[in-house]
C-alpha cells in the first residue's frame, strides 16, 4: 500500500479510531495485592486505584517491586493474594493474552525477520481480525507515529527512536484497555529520551488511554504522569501528582529519592494548628529550632523536615548583624565548599558550621554570578516555614 493511500485512509478514519481507543480505556485497581517468591515478598499489600485515561508512573529504585507490580497487572505473574481489577472485571485468573492489555518492553521485542508492517500487524493476526481491518489499523498506527514511509523495512534498518515508535504502534494497534510500559526509554540517549517522552505523552493525551509505566527516573515520571506511585521495599510510599510529590514529599524516603532536598532530623518540640497545616517546631541538635508545615506529631517523637535548595536564600555572614531575621523563620550558618555551574542553574555545596551537615543551595546562574560569593566564605542560609515540609519518621 502506498504512503499516500495510507495517509488518505488515516484522515478518514482517525477520528473513529481515536474514539475507539478512548472508549477502550479502563481503570486499574489493586486490592491488597501481594506477590511472593518462596519466602521473598516482592510486593506487599498494594492497594491502588488508577483512573481510566490516566498516565501513571510506578517510580522507585531498583528492587522496589515496581516491575513485579506491572507484571501482575499484565498477567505475566500470578498474585499470591489480593485482587486485580481492570475496569470492573476481576482478572486474577484470566491469562495475559485475554486481559485486553498490551505491554511495551524495554527491548521493544520486534521480530527482526518481519517488516515493520508485519510487526505492527502481528497482534491483530493473532486475534484473527479480518484482513481489511488489519490493513486499516496498521496504516493508522504507522501514520500516527510518523513512520508509514518505512513500512517495508526491517527493524535493524531503523534507529532506536524509530524502533521504539514501532513498538508503540504495535502495542496500540490492538486497542488495549491498558498499555503498560516497562522502562521504555532507558535504551535511548538523553536527547532522544526527552523527545520520546514528549511523543508518549502526546499520544496518550490524544487518545485518552490508560498508560502505566515503570521508571526509576524522577524527571521522566514528572514529565509524563498524571499520577506517580512511589514504591520502596515492595510497598507504596506515596501516591500523588508530580506537583504534589515535588512540593510536599510525604516521607524521608520520598524526599531523598526526589533528590537534592535538604533534610534535617530532630525531635518534635511543639505543634499548633495554623491555617490548613499545623506549624511544627523541630528541635535539631546543633542548629536549634526549625519551623515547618505538616500534620501534628507527638511531642518528643523523632522526625525531620525538608527544604528544597531552590527555596533557600543566601547572604554573607556578618558578625555584627544578629543571625535571626524577621523575614524568615529558619536560618543556619554554613560555609561554601564548592560551586558547580551546570548551565542555567548553579549548584552550591555547603557545610553547616555547627554540625558539619552537607547542604545544597541552587540558584539561577545569572543570580549567583551577581552575588559575588566565593568558595570558603561563611554565609547565612534562610528559608520560610511555609516552604519547609514536615516529614514523620
Q: What is the pLDDT of residues 336-387, one digit of tens each?
A: 999 999 999 999 999 999 999 999 999 999 999 999 899 999 999 999 999 9
Whether 285 and 355 have beta carbons less than 8 Å apart is answered as yes
Provide the pLDDT confidence category of residue 13 given band limits of 50, 70 and 90.
very low
What pLDDT sits at residue 55? 97
C-alpha cell belonging to residue 285: 541538635
Q: Is the pLDDT of residue 263 over 90?
A: yes
Residue 372, domain member (yes or no): yes
Residues 88 and 23 placed together within one structural domain of the fold: yes
Q: Which of 194, 223, 247 is the last residue of a domain?
A: 247
> What's 298's domain CATH number?
2.40.50.100
Average pLDDT over residues 49-63: 96
CA–CA distance, 222 with 57 (Å, rounded to integer):
9
What pLDDT sits at residue 16? 66
CA–CA distance, 201 with 195 (Å, rounded to integer):
10
C-alpha cell belonging to residue 281: 517546631
Provide the pLDDT confidence category of residue 18 given band limits of 50, 70 and 90.
low
Residues in the chain: 393
C-alpha cell belonging to residue 135: 490493513
C-alpha cell belonging to residue 56: 501513571
CA nearest neighbour of 333 among 348, 310, 314, 349: 314
Q: Is the pLDDT of residue 6 over 70?
A: no
Residues 210 and 231 placed together within one structural domain of the fold: yes
Whether 287 and 352 have beta carbons less than 8 Å apart is answered as yes
Q: How many domains does the chain have?
A: 2
Question: Which of the given ranges, 111-120, 227-236, 271-280, has the highest pLDDT on average?
Answer: 227-236
Residues 174-203 have pLDDT tens digits of: 889 999 999 888 777 788 788 888 888 988
What pLDDT sits at residue 332? 94
Q: Which of 190, 221, 247 is the last residue of a domain?
A: 247
CA–CA distance, 146 with 84 (Å, rounded to integer):
35
Average pLDDT over residues 217-245: 96
Q: Is the pLDDT of residue 326 over 50?
A: no
Q: Is the pLDDT of residue 10 over 90?
A: no
Residues 146 and 273 placed together within one structural domain of the fold: no
Give the burial class of 324: count Cβ atoms within 10 A of its Cβ; 0-12 exposed, 13-18 middle, 19 or more buried: exposed
Residues 264 and 242 placed together within one structural domain of the fold: no
Residues 119-169 have pLDDT tens digits of: 999 989 988 899 999 999 999 888 888 888 999 999 999 888 888 889 888
Residues 187 and 280 placed together within one structural domain of the fold: no
392 vs 44, 198, 229, 263, 295, CA distance in Å? 22, 35, 19, 12, 9
The position carrying cell 529504585 is 61
Grouping H, G, I as helix, E, B as strand and the rest as coil, residue 173 is helix
Residues 292 and 184 placed together within one structural domain of the fold: no
Helix (H) or strand (E) holding 4: helix 3-24
Q: Is the pLDDT of residue 214 over 60?
A: yes
Buried b (16+ CB within 10 A) or exposed e, 181-206: bbbbbeebeeeebeebbebbbebbee
Task: Note if the pTM is more than 0.95.
Answer: no
What pLDDT sits at residue 328? 53
Give the burial class of 130: count Cβ atoms within 10 A of its Cβ; 0-12 exposed, 13-18 middle, 19 or more buried: exposed
Residues 280-304 have pLDDT tens digits of: 999 999 999 999 999 878 899 999 9
CA–CA distance, 302 with 297 (Å, rounded to integer):
9
CA nearest neighbour of 201 among 216, 179, 231, 186: 179
Residue 233, domain member (yes or no): yes
Q: Is the pLDDT of residue 325 over 80?
A: no
Whether 364 and 275 have beta carbons less than 8 Å apart is answered as no
Domain that holds residue 276: 260-392
Residue 252, domain member (yes or no): no
Q: Is the pLDDT of residue 44 over 90?
A: yes
- Name the average pLDDT for the chain: 89
Q: Which of 193, 220, 247 is the last residue of a domain?
A: 247
What percentage of the chain reaches a pLDDT higher than 90? 65
Residue 238, domain member (yes or no): yes
Residue 254, domain member (yes or no): no
Residue 253, domain member (yes or no): no
> What's 153's domain CATH number?
3.40.50.300
Residue 107, domain member (yes or no): yes
What pLDDT sits at residue 276? 78
Whether 332 and 359 have beta carbons less than 8 Å apart is answered as yes
Amino acid at each position: 500500500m502506498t504512503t499516500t493511500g495510507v495517509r488518505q485512509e488515516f484522515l478518514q478514519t482517525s477520528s473513529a479510531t481515536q474514539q475507539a481507543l478512548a472508549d477502550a480505556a479502563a481503570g486499574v485497581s489493586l486490592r491488597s495485592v501481594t506477590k511472593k517468591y518462596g519466602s521473598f515478598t516482592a510486593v506487599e499489600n498494594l492497594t491502588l486505584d488508577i483512573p481510566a485515561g490516566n498516565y501513571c508512573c510506578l517510580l522507585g529504585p531498583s528492587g522496589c517491586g515496581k516491575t513485579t507490580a506491572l507484571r501482575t497487572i499484565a498477567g505475566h505473574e500470578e498474585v499470591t493474594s489480593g485482587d486485580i481489577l481492570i475496569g470492573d472485571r476481576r482478572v486474577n485468573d484470566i491469562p495475559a493474552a485475554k486481559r485486553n492489555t498490551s505491554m511495551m518492553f524495554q527491548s521493544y521485542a520486534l521480530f527482526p525477520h518481519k517488516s515493520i508492517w508485519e510487526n505492527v500487524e502481528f497482534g491483530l493476526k493473532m486475534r484473527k481480525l479480518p484482513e481489511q481491518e488489519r490493513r486499516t489499523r496498521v496504516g493508522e498506527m504507522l501514520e500516527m507515529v510518523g513512520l508509514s514511509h518505512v513500512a517495508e523495512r526491517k527493524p535493524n534498518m531503523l534507529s532506536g527512536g524509530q524502533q521504539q515508535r514501532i513498538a508503540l504502534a504495535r502495542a496500540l494497534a490492538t486497542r488495549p484497555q491498558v498499555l503498560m510500559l516497562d522502562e521504555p526509554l532507558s535504551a535511548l540517549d538523553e536527547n532522544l529520551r526527552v523527545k520520546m517522552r514528549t511523543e508518549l505523552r502526546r499520544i496518550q493525551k490524544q487518545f485518552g488511554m490508560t498508560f502505566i509505566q515503570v521508571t526509576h527516573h524522577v524527571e521522566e515520571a514528572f514529565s509524563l504522569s498524571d499520577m506517580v506511585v512511589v514504591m520502596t521495599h515492595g510497598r507504596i510510599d506515596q501516591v500523588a501528582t508530580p506537583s504534589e510529590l515535588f512540593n510536599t514529599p510525604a516521607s524521608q524516603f520520598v524526599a531523598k529519592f526526589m533528590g537534592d532536598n535538604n533534610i534535617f532530623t530532630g525531635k518534635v518540640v511543639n505543634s499548633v494548628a495554623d491555617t490548613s497545616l499545623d506549624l511544627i517546631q523541630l528541635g535539631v541538635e546543633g542548629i536549634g529550632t526549625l519551623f515547618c508545615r505538616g500534620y501534628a506529631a507527638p511531642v518528643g517523637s523523632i522526625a525531620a523536615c525538608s527544604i528544597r535548595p531552590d527555596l533557600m536564600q543566601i547572604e554573607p555572614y556578618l558578625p555584627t548583624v544578629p543571625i535571626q531575621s524577621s523575614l524568615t523563620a529558619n536560618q543556619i550558618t554554613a560555609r561554601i565548599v564548592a560551586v558547580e555551574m551546570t548551565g542555567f542553574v548553579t549548584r552550591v555545596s555547603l557545610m553547616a558550621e555547627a554540625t558539619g551537615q552537607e547542604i545544597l543551595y541552587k540558584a539561577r546562574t545569572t543570580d549567583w554570578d551577581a552575588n559575588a560569593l566565593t568558595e570558603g566564605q561563611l554565609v547565612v542560609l534562610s528559608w520560610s516555614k511555609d516552604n519547609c515540609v514536615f516529614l514523620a519518621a
